[in-house]
Chains A and B, each alone.
Chain A
C-alpha cells in the first residue's frame, strides 16, 4: 500500500508541475463553453435548459485532450519500460496514474463549473446533480480513455484514432449524465441515472487497470 501511495504522490506531483498543459485544458474548456452559445443562439431560456449538457460536452472534449498523453509521454521518455520492469504489479502502477488523472481533472472541473454555470445562466438547483454526475462520470471517462490511450500508445501519436475509439463508449456516459441533470431541472427522479453512472464506475474501476496493464505489455511487441 505504501508503494502505491508513494507512486501516487509522484504522479500527482508530475501532474501538478505540468501547469501549462493544465492551463491549456482550462482554456479549452472555457473556449468551448464560450463558443457554444454562439452556435446555438443566445436565448437565455434555451441556454439555461441546455447548460448542464453544454458543460458536460466541454468536460468530455477536455478529457479527450487530457488523455491523449496519458501513456505516450511515458513510452517516449522510457518510463514505460521501467513501469513494465517494475517488480510491483503493473495494474497497481497504472491505477495510480489513472487516479492522479481523475483527481486533477475533477479539480479543474470543480474550479470551472461555477463560472461556466454563471456564464450559461444555469439553474443552480441543478448544480448538485451536475457535480454528482461529474464525480461519477469523469472517472468513467478517464478509465475508458486510459484503455484507448494504452491501445494507441504503440502508434506513438495518434489522437484522431484515440478519439475515434472513445466516442462510441463516451456516448452512454454523456446520455446518462445529461439525463440526470435534465431530470433535476424538471423535478423528476435523478437517482436511476446517477446509479447507472455509478454502476459503470464500479464495473470499470477494478477491471480497467488490469486491462490496461495487459494492453501495455502486449503493445510493446
Chain B
C-alpha cells in the first residue's frame, strides 16, 4: 500500500484570500500527520488540496517521489472525511454504504459488508436498516468513518474526524488509523483535539503561513 506523500512550497488561494503559503512536509508510508491550527488557518483547505479537490495555487505535491500532475490519480488514492458526513437522510445505513460503494465504482477488492461483520465492527449492526434521518450526529459520524474501510486506499485525509464521537467511537477511530498505518497507509488528520497518537508528525497552521 505504501507511498510517500510530500508537499513543497504549497500555497492555497480561496477567492482573493491566500489561505496558506510556503507549506512543506513529507509523510512516509505508515506515517501520521496531525495538522493543527486555529479556526480559518487553512486546515480544511490543505486537506482539500491534498485530496485533489482544490488546485494548489503554488507549489507541488509528490506521491512516491513523483510529482502529482494527474489529480484524478490523486483522488483515486484518497479516502476523505470532511466536515459533512455525506449522508442522505432518505437512505438507510446499509443503503448509504452501498451508495458510497457505487460512487467508488466497481468493487475490485471484493469487499462484502455482510461477510466481514462490517456494521458490527462500527457498532452499526442494529442501525443498518434505520433511515439516516433518525441517527444522532455521533452515529452519522460513525457511519461516515465506514468509508475508510469500504475502499482500500493508501491516503486518508480526515477533517476533524472525532467530531460528535463518543469515547468508544474515538477508540475505534484510533484503532482504524493504527491498522491503516501498519499496512503502510498514510493518515493526515486535521484536528483541534489533543489526541494521543503514537509517532505522529505535527504541522502547525497558525495563520503566519498566509
Chain A contacts to B: CB under 8 angstroms: 2-3, 6-7, 10, 13-14, 17-18, 76-79, 81-88, 93, 220-221
Stretch at the interface among B2-10, B48-56, B118-126, B193-201: B48-56
Residue B105 CB within 8 A of the other chain: yes
**Which one of A3, A13, A14, A82 contacts B86 once the chains associate, using CB atoms below 8 Å?**
A82
Binds A, one of B58-66, B77-85, B163-171: B77-85
Pairwise interchain contact A7-B102, C-beta atoms closer than 8 A: yes
**A13-B91, A83-B103, A220-B54 are known contacts; what are 11 more A-B pairs with Cβ within 8 Å?**
A3-B102, A10-B102, A18-B90, A77-B86, A81-B84, A82-B100, A86-B104, A86-B105, A87-B76, A87-B105, A220-B48
Are B55 and A10 touching (Cβ within 8 A)? no
Which size class do B's interface residues fall under? Answer: 20 to 34
Asked if B172 lies at the interface with its beta carbon under 8 angstroms from chain A, I say no
Shortest beta-carbon distance from A80 to chain B in Å = 8
Tell me which of A17, A84, A93 contacts B75 (CB under 8 A): A84
Chain A residues with Cβ below 8 Å from B51 are 81, 85
Contact check, A81 vs B82: say whether CB atoms are below 8 A apart: yes
Q: In the bound complex, what is the Cα–Cα distance between A84 and B72 (angstroms)?
A: 9
Most B C-beta atoms less than 10 A away, residue of A76, A84, A87, A220: A87
A84-B53 contact, Cβ under 8 Å, with A14-B91, A76-B84, A77-B87: yes
CB–CB A78/B53 < 8 A: no
Given A77-B85, A86-B103 in contact, is the A14-B90 Cβ separation under 8 Å?
Answer: yes
Chain B residues 83 to 111 lying within 8 A of chain A, measured CB to CB, are 83-88, 90-91, 95, 98-100, 102-106
Q: Residue on A with the closest CB to B71?
A: A217
Q: Is A7 within 8 A of B103, CB to CB?
A: yes
Residues of chain B within 8 A of A7, CB atoms compared = 102-103
Measured between beta carbons, the chain A residues less than 8 angstroms from B86 are 77-79, 81-82
Chain B hits for A82, CB < 8 A: 80, 86, 100, 103, 147
Residue of B48, B53, B88 touching A77 (CB-CB under 8 A): B88
In the complex, chain A residues whose CB is within 8 Å of the CB of B90: 13-14, 17-18
The chain A residue sitting closest to B13, CB to CB, is A221
CB neighbours of B91 from chain A (8 A)? 10, 13-14, 17
- Residues on B with beta carbons closer than 8 Å to the beta carbon of A14: 88, 90-91
Find chain B residues with CB under 8 A from A17 CB. Answer: 90-91
CB closest residue in chain A, given B73: A87
* CB proximity of B24 to chain A, nearest CB, Å: 22
Q: A81-B82, A84-B75 are in contact. Are A2 and B88 (CB under 8 A)?
A: no
Residues of chain A with a CB closer than 8 A to B83's CB: 78
**CA–CA, A63 and B75, complex, Å:** 33
Chain A residues whose CB sits within 8 angstroms of the CB of B48 once the complex forms: 220
Chain B minimum-CB-distance residue to A86: B103
Contact across chains for B106 and A3 when beta carbons are under 8 A apart: yes
A17 nearest CB neighbor, chain B only: B90
